Amino acid sequence: MTKIGVLALQGAVAEHIRGIEKAGAEGVVVKRTEQLADLDGIILPGGESTTIGKLMRTYGFIDALKEFSAAGKPIFGTCAGLIVIAKEITGQPAHLELMDITVARNAFGRQRESFETDLPIKGIDENVRAVFIRAPLIEKVGPGVDVLATYDGQIVAAQQGHLLAASFHPELTDDFRLHSYFLDMVKQRQA
């Protein structure tokens, strides 16, 4: 069975595991870099990107995830996870510098400005329910990046090869089609 990890340093880990399993793969809670060797793909969940970045440095995940990506294994960053995989973060140093995007943290405002909406996403038939909580925004994409979704004219989901990023939290709804989309990316790589 396909194994998808969820980096368990902070964030909605159990909810992503549930999404992975509903999509038809085995979900693995990842707390040690050695676990990456057994995975077919990994999700970097939401949380607080600065904290996640510090914990990734403390536990050796920066180099380990760069190697994981260099091997072509798919990575899906949601909310803070999107920030962590970005090549550039407006106004601060980047973490993994994998995906050719520039992001702005908390672009949609504070916690009280959080909202839900139905989003059309390229490659998914019907609109997906998207939960935005202190969400980042993709300000700029490089030439190899495919924009998958926009909200109010702003980029909120994108893909670059084996890298997938969403500003919102797909794990906080009962709609697991974005997890299925990621699982399809993993299966295409395996084929």
Could you list the active site residues?
A: 79, 169, 171
Q: Distance between CA atoms of 15 and 45, rounded to whole angstroms?
A: 10
CA-only gyration radius of the chain, Å: 15
Give Cα separations from 101 to 5, 37, 113, 165, 166 (angstroms): 23, 27, 24, 10, 12
Phi, psi of 144 (to 5 degrees): -90, 10
Using DSSP's 3-state secondary structure scheme, residue 175 falls into coil
Give residues with Cβ within 8 angstroms of 147, minimum separation 6: 122, 138, 141, 155, 157, 158
> Helix 13-23 crosses helix 177-190 at what angle (to 10 degrees)?
70
The structure tokens listed for 114 are 């959080």
